[in-house]
């Protein structure tokens, strides 16, 4: 990508958090809720390794502090390790949102870097219920074991639990994670995006109200959106224009203005764009993260979440 910065007359908005959806491939088949509609037969998209490196370089120049690698399952991308290392070389923080179904030895070493954190999704302390939701037998035991291993290794890990149906063992799952030593566990309801949209047309009302506020996402085909949950709001492509040109463009401004904003208070570090953004993962559809004392970071129609980060 060749970008003529001097030709851009509109200043780009400040970005601090960038989500890179490396792939639509995932070992799991979360047919009831995956926002990316990921699965084992999906591909890695059309972005090349050099395309992703160029986006990371631009992100650093735009003031991004943290890059989140997400999917699908980002560790399945053939250039995952190289791209994380390149991001770290640029001086940026990294969050990897993985289903933690399988973790390679080389990835444990990567996750142990002091500027890397992990995020994952978990659905129930009951293996059968968890596996039914993910569509993969044994996913509960594998994910739970790898969460415990991350804690044992001293790797910061955050767990998002999506409450999807009556009777789901959500609170038991939260208690289980806390008993394992996970200090950041958040619960949210499913959002009508992707597989969860069913026959509904996705609505900005399903978003937390912080999308495009210091954050952006790049999808596997290079499309730029205000966040991975706001994937139905394209603003341009890094493959044709570059990240800076897209976020400085009229379509970005139009989309950002279309997202309802609220000014209610929210617990710092619980719903802001500096680190977790929406805390989605390969199998999680959420807007903001409720804090651990139970307050709810609801979608945009409810004035619950308008703080200093995401």
Three-state SS for 196? helix
pLDDT-above-70 percentage for the chain: 71
- For the chain, the structural domain boundaries read 12-258
Task: Look at the pTM and tell me if it is higher than 0.85.
Answer: no
Is residue 89 packed enough to be buried (19+ CB in 10 Å), middle (13-18) or exposed (0-12)? exposed
Cα distances (Å, whole numbers) of residue 292 to 54, 65, 108, 283, 296: 37, 25, 27, 21, 9
> Quick one: how far is CA 296 from the chain centroid?
19
Q: Does residue 66 or residue 306 have the better pLDDT? A: 66
Separation between Cα atoms, residue 52 and residue 139, nearest integer Å: 29
Q: Which residues contact 249 (CB under 8 A, 6 or more apart)?
A: 10, 235, 236, 241
CA 218/CA 240 separation, integer angstroms: 13
Task: Return the bridge partners of 137, or none.
Answer: none
pLDDT grade, residue 11 (50/70/90)? Answer: low
Residue 116 pLDDT greater than 60, yes or no:
yes
Distance of alpha carbon 251 from alpha carbon 234, whole angstroms: 8
Range name among 36-45, 133-142, 211-220, 230-239 with the lowest pLDDT average: 36-45
Q: Which pLDDT band holds residue 35 (cuts at 50, 70, 90)?
A: low
Helices assigned H by DSSP within the chain: 49-62, 80-89, 105-111, 127-134, 139-152, 170-180, 243-247, 250-258
**146, 138 Cβ separation under 8 angstroms:** no
Q: What is the mean pLDDT of residues 50-72?
A: 96
In this model, does residue 309 exceed pLDDT 60?
A: no
The fold of 12-258 is: TIM Barrel (3.20.20)
Query: Cβ(194)–Cβ(280) under 8 Å?
Result: no
Residues 222-235 pLDDT 10s: 999 998 888 889 99
Region 159-168 average pLDDT? 86
Q: What is the pLDDT of residue 290?
A: 33
Q: Per-residue pLDDT for 296 more than 50?
A: no
In this structure, how many other beta carbons lie within 10 angstroms of the beta carbon of residue 8? 15
In the structure encoding, which two tokens stand for residue 275, read together?
A: 């680190």
For residue 66, is pLDDT > 70? yes
Per-residue confidence band for 213, with pLDDT thresholds at 50, 70 and 90? confident
* Average confidence (pLDDT) over 190-216: 64
H-run or E-run covering 272: none
Distance, CA of 83 to chain centre = 16
Are the C-beta atoms of residues 214 and 274 closer than 8 Å to each other? Answer: yes
């Amino acid at each position: 990508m060749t970008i003529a910065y001097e030709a851009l007359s509109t200043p780009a908005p400040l970005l601090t958090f960038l989500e890179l959806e490396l792939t639509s491939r995932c070992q799991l088949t979360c047919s009831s809720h995956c926002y990316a509609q990921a699965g084992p037969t999906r591909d890695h998209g059309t972005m090349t390794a050099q395309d992703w490196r160029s986006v990371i370089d631009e992100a650093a120049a735009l003031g991004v502090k943290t890059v989140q690698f997400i999917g699908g399952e980002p560790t399945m991308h053939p250039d995952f390790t190289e791209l994380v290392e390149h991001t770290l070389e640029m001086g940026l923080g990294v969050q990897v949102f993985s289903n933690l179904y399988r973790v390679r030895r080389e990835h444990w070493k990567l996750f142990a870097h002091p500027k890397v954190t992990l995020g994952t999704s978990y659905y129930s302390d009951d293996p059968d219920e968890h596996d039914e939701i993910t569509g993969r037998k044994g996913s509960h035991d594998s994910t739970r074991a790898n969460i415990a291993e991350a804690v044992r290794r001293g790797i910061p890990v955050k767990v998002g639990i999506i409450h999807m149906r009556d009777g789901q063992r959500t609170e038991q799952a939260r208690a289980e994670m806390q008993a394992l030593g996970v200090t950041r566990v958040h619960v949210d309801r499913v959002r009508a995006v992707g597989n969860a949209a069913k026959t509904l047309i996705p609505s900005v009302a399903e978003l937390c109200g912080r999308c495009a506020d210091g954050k952006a996402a790049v999808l596997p085909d290079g499309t730029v959106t205000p966040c991975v949950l706001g994937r139905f709001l394209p603003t341009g492509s890094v493959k044709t224009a570059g990240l800076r040109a897209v976020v400085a463009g009229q379509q970005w401004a139009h989309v950002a203005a279309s997202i309802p904003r609220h000014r209610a208070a929210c617990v710092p570090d619980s719903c802001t764009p500096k680190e977790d953004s929406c805390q989605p993962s390969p199998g999680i559809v959420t807007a903001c993260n409720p804090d651990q004392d139970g307050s709810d970071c609801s979608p945009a129609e409810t004035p619950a979440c308008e703080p200093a980060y995401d």
